[in-house]
Chain A
Amino acid sequence: RKEVEQDPGPFNVPEGATVAFNCTYSNSASQSFFWYRQDCRKEPKLLMSVYSSGNEDGRFTAQLNRASQYISLLIRDSKLSDSATYLCVVSLGGYQKVTFGIGTKLQVIP
């Protein structure tokens, strides 16, 4: 089993739709979780950290389910500008191993 697994997509959704991505991780000792956004041929940029209680930033909501070992990202009211690849990142904490998922590609269609 891969350390971090994501569905590569692509997810094609109409503008205004709500879309959710999941990411599963294999190491139950994982401490830190993040979602990054990566545009085509650009560097990853931090979208949001994922906290145990769940957190929201505008149209974006992140959730952590430690029992089932997955994190999720929900995007409401999708915009054309949300089209990108969303990377799930899992860390054991500190300088210990940080693992990146392969990313889920989102295409928002007019």
Chain B
Amino acid sequence: DGGITQSPKYLFRKEGQNVTLSCEQNLNHDAMYWYRQDPGQGLRLIYYSQIVNDFQKGDIAEGYSVSREKKESFPLTVTSAQKNPTAFYLCASSVQETNQPQHFGDGTRLSIL
């Protein structure tokens, strides 16, 4: 079945540690996105990528980094510079055509130890 796979489901970060969240899709979508969801807030865009080897900052990119070396994969690194990393992280993908919706992976919950 085609879909988006995020791993791990739960992740704990120690002070000063970088952690990487995985996102893989087999939908052949060109565009991929990372969002953060906090209680009582809408999803906020961290980074997005329209094509391999290219990505753009979203609204809250500080303290995060990404790479897009393969079409299927868009990992997100939460660096030690991100002082409030506890959140639900969602990866999404979409086709290039206008008016097409995004499809989400099942998310990673990140907490600080």
Minimum Cβ distance to chain B for residue A39 (Å): 11
Q: Is the CB of A32 within 8 A of B99?
A: yes
Q: Is the CB of B101 within 8 A of A34?
A: yes
Interface size on B, residues (CB 8 A): 23
Looking at B48, B96, B98, B107, which has the most chain A CB atoms within 10 Å of its CB?
A: B98
**For B42, what are the chain A residues with a Cβ–Cβ distance below 8 Å?**
4, 87, 99-103
Minimum Cβ distance to chain B for residue A5 (Å): 10
Q: Is the CB of A45 within 8 A of B45?
A: no
**For A103, what are the chain B residues with a Cβ–Cβ distance below 8 Å?**
42
From known contacts A32-B99, A34-B101, A98-B102, infer whether A44 and B43 are also in contact, taking CB-CB under 8 Å.
Answer: yes
Q: Is the CB of A49 within 8 A of B101?
A: yes
- A43 in the interface, Cβ–Cβ < 8 Å? yes
Q: Is the CB of A98 within 8 A of B50?
A: no
Interface size on A, residues (CB 8 A): 25
Q: Is the CB of B101 within 8 A of A42?
A: no
- B21 in the interface, Cβ–Cβ < 8 Å? no
Known pairs A32-B101, A94-B98, A100-B35 / 18 extra A-B pairs, C-beta < 8 Å:
A8-B40, A31-B98, A32-B98, A32-B99, A42-B106, A42-B107, A43-B90, A43-B104, A44-B43, A44-B90, A45-B104, A46-B101, A49-B99, A49-B101, A94-B96, A97-B45, A102-B41, A102-B42
* Residues of A bordering B, CB below 8 Å: 4, 8, 31-32, 34, 41-46, 49, 87, 89, 91, 93-95, 97-103
* Residues of B bordering A, CB below 8 Å: 31, 35, 40-43, 45, 48, 50, 88, 90, 96, 98-107, 109
